C-alpha cells in the first residue's frame, strides 16, 4: 500500500492530459471523463500492481537502464553522459533524475519502485528479445536516425516491407509489436502547416524550428535510399546512436578517438556527439570538441590539423537530416568549411589550419593586456605550433573556455589547473 500511495502523490503532479499520455504509453487507456485524481489513482494501482504487464510496453533502452539500476540497488545514483532525449522512465517519474551537475546526468531508482520492478525486469527483457519487438524497434530508430524527418507513410512502408520480407505477409503479427512499443507515440509529429504527419529522430530538440529549416531544402526532391542493414546500424546503441563507422571516414574517426584516449562508454558518446553535430555543422560548433578536449595529447600542429580534417571528412560524408539523407559531399550543402592557407617554412603548400578562438578575458583580468609584462614572457615560452587559446592561464573560472567548447573554463581545460 505504501508503494501505491507514494506513486499516487507523484502522479498527482502531472496535468490530466499528461496522465492520459502516460496511461497510453504504459498500455492502460484512461477515459477522458475521469477526474485527474481518479486517473492518478488508477495509474498508481496499475503501475505498482501489474509491472509484468506494463514493462512489456517499454523501449529496450528503458529496460536495460532499469536492469542496471535494479542491480545497483535502491537510491544508488548512476552517472551518465547527457543523452539527446530522456527515457520514458524519467518522463513518467518511474525513476528519479538530477541534472544539477553540468557534466553528468544522474538517475536512480527509489525504494518503492525498486521493490515493484525487481522481480520482473529480466523476464521483460527476454520477452522483448524473443518476440522480435527489440529488433523491430532498432529498425524504427534506425530509419528515424538516418533521415531525421520523414513522412509517416514512408516510414510505415519501410517497416512493413522489412516485416513481409522477414516474416511473411501476415501483418496481424506486426500489429502487437507496434502497439506495445512507445516509439510511434513519442516520435510522431504533425506538421503545423497541414502537410501531414512525420516521424522524427529522437535527438531533434526544437521540433518546430527543425521542421521550418527542413522546408528550406525543398529543392532536394527525393529521399536517399537506405537498406535495412543501414537502418539496423543507425538504430543500435541507444541512446548514443552513430552511423558510418564502417566507412573509410568512420574508421579513421574511430582510430583518431582511440589515439586520443577515448574508450568504452566515453568512446560511444564521443562518436554519437560527432554524428549529431555533423547533422548541421553551421549550428554545432561543438563538432570538433572531441579533439579540442584532448589537444594536450597531440604532439604538433600538423597532427592537430590532421585530426580536424578527419572529423570534417566524416561529417561531410554522413547522411544529413536536412538533406533527406543525402550527404554534404553529394549535395555540396552543409559542408564543413576547410580553407587552405599559404604555406609557412617547412610546411607543404595548402596545409589545412584551424584558427583557435581568441582567448576570452573577463573584466577582472583585463589589466593583464596592458600592464603585465610576464604575459608576453609566458607566451614566448610556449612550444611552436601550440594551440595558444588552450594554454592561457589567466582565464577566469566562469569565463567561456578559450577552446570554444561552450563550457565554462573551470569545467573544461581549467578543470585540472590550479
Domains belonging to the chain, first-starting first, are 2-124 (no CATH), 132-224 (1.10.10), 248-331 (no CATH), 363-411 (no CATH)
Higher pLDDT, 386 or 75: 75
Give strand pairing partners of 108.
96
| Weakest-pLDDT range from 66-70, 141-145, 409-413 | 409-413
- Report the pLDDT value the prediction gives residue 418, as an integer from 0 to 100: 35
**The model's pTM:** 0.76
Cα–Cα distance measured from residue 11 to residue 332, given in angstroms and rounded to the nearest whole number? 50
- Report the pLDDT value the prediction gives residue 381, as an integer from 0 to 100: 53
pLDDT single digits (tens) 361-380: 343 333 333 444 544 554 45
| 162-174 mean pLDDT | 87
Q: Look at the alpha carbons of 71, 75, 79, 81 in this order and tell me if their dihedral is positive or negative.
A: positive
| Weakest-pLDDT range from 184-198, 239-253, 262-276, 315-329 | 184-198
Provide DSSP, 79-148.
EEPPPSS--HHHHTTSSEEE--SSS-EEEE--HHHHHHHTTTHHHHHHHHHHHTHHHHHHHHHHHHHHHS
pLDDT > 50? residue 343: no
CB atoms within 10 A of CB 299: 10
Q: Which of 49, 51, 44, 96 is nearest to 69 (CA)?
A: 96
| 405-409 mean pLDDT | 62
Dihedral pair phi/psi, residue 340, rounded to 5° = -70, 145
- Give kind and range of the element (H or E) at residue 151: strand 149-151
Cα–Cα distance measured from residue 78 to residue 330, given in angstroms and rounded to the nearest whole number? 42
Cα–Cα distance measured from residue 261 to residue 132, given in angstroms and rounded to the nearest whole number? 36
pLDDT > 50? residue 152: yes
- Give kind and range of the element (H or E) at residue 188: strand 188-190
Q: Report residue 270's pLDDT band, with 50, 70 and 90 as the boundaries.
A: very high
Higher pLDDT, 381 or 156: 156
| 25-39 mean pLDDT | 90
What share of the chain has pLDDT > 90, as a percent?
51
Q: Report residue 412's pLDDT band, with 50, 70 and 90 as the boundaries.
A: low
pLDDT > 90? residue 346: no
Higher pLDDT, 404 or 135: 135
pLDDT > 60? residue 349: no
Q: Which of 104, 93, 85 is nearest to 22 (CA)?
A: 93
C-alpha cell read off for 104: 553528468
- Report the pLDDT value the prediction gives residue 37, as an integer from 0 to 100: 92
| 93-120 mean pLDDT | 91
Amino acid at each position: 500500500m505504501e508503494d501505491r500511495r507514494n506513486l499516487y502523490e507523484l502522479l498527482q503532479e502531472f496535468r490530466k492530459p499528461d496522465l492520459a499520455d502516460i496511461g497510453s504509453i504504459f498500455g492502460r487507456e484512461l477515459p477522458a471523463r475521469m477526474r485527474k485524481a481518479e486517473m492518478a489513482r488508477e495509474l498508481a494501482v496499475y503501475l505498482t500492481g501489474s509491472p509484468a504487464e506494463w514493462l512489456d510496453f517499454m523501449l529496450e533502452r528503458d529496460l536495460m537502464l532499469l536492469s542496471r539500476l535494479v542491480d545497483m540497488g535502491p537510491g544508488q545514483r548512476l552517472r551518465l553522459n547527457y543523452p539527446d532525449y530522456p527515457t520514458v522512465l524519467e518522463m513518467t517519474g518511474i525513476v528519479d533524475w538530477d541534472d544539477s551537475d553540468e557534466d553528468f546526468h544522474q538517475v536512480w531508482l527509489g525504494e518503492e519502485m525498486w521493490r515493484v520492478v525487481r522481480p520482473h525486469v529480466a523476464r521483460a527483457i527476454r520477452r522483448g528479445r524473443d518476440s522480435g519487438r527489440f529488433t523491430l524497434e532498432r529498425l524504427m530508430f534506425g530509419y528515424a536516425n538516418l533521415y531525421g524527418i520523414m513522412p509517416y507513410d514512408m516510414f510505415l512502408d519501410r517497416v512493413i516491407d522489412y516485416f513481409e520480407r522477414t516474416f511473411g505477409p501476415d501483418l496481424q503479427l506486426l500489429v502487437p509489436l507496434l502497439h506495445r512499443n512507445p516509439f510511434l507515440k513519442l516520435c510522431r509529429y504533425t506538421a503545423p502547416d497541414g502537410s501531414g504527419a512525420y516521424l522524427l529522430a529522437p535527438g531533434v530538440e526544437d521540433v518546430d524550428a527543425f521542421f521550418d529549416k527542413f522546408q528550406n531544402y525543398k529543392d532536394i526532391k527525393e529521399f536517399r535510399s537506405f537498406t535495412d542493414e543501414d537502418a539496423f546500424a543507425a538504430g543500435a546503441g541507444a541512446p548514443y546512436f552513430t552511423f558510418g563507422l564502417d566507412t573509410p571516414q568512420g574508421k579513421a574517426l574511430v582510430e583518431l578517438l582511440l589515439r586520443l584516449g577515448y574508450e568504452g562508454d566515453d568512446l560511444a558518446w564521443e562518436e554519437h556527439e560527432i554524428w549529431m553535430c555533423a547533422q548541421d555543422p553551421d549550428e554545432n560548433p561543438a563538432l570538433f570538441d572531441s579533439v579540442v578536449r584532448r589537444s594536450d595529447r597531440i604532439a604538433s600542429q600538423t597532427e592537430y590539423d590532421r585530426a580536424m580534417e578527419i572529423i570534417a571528412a566524416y561529417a561531410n560524408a554522413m547522411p544529413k537530416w536536412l538533406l533527406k539523407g543525402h550527404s554534404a559531399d553529394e549535395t555540396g550543402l552543409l559542408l564543413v568549411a576547410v580553407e587552405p592557407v599559404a604555406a609557412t617554412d617547412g610546411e607543404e603548400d595548402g596545409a589545412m589550419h584551424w584558427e583557435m578562438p581568441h582567448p576570452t578575458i573577463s573584466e577582472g583580468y583585463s589589466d593583464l593586456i596592458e600592464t603585465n609584462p610576464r604575459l608576453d614572457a609566458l607566451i614566448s615560452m610556449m612550444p611552436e605550433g601550440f594551440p595558444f587559446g588552450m594554454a592561457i592561464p589567466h582565464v577566469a573560472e566562469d569565463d567561456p573556455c578559450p577552446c570554444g567548447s561552450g563550457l565554462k573554463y573551470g569545467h573544461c581545460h581549467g578543470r585540472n589547473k590550479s
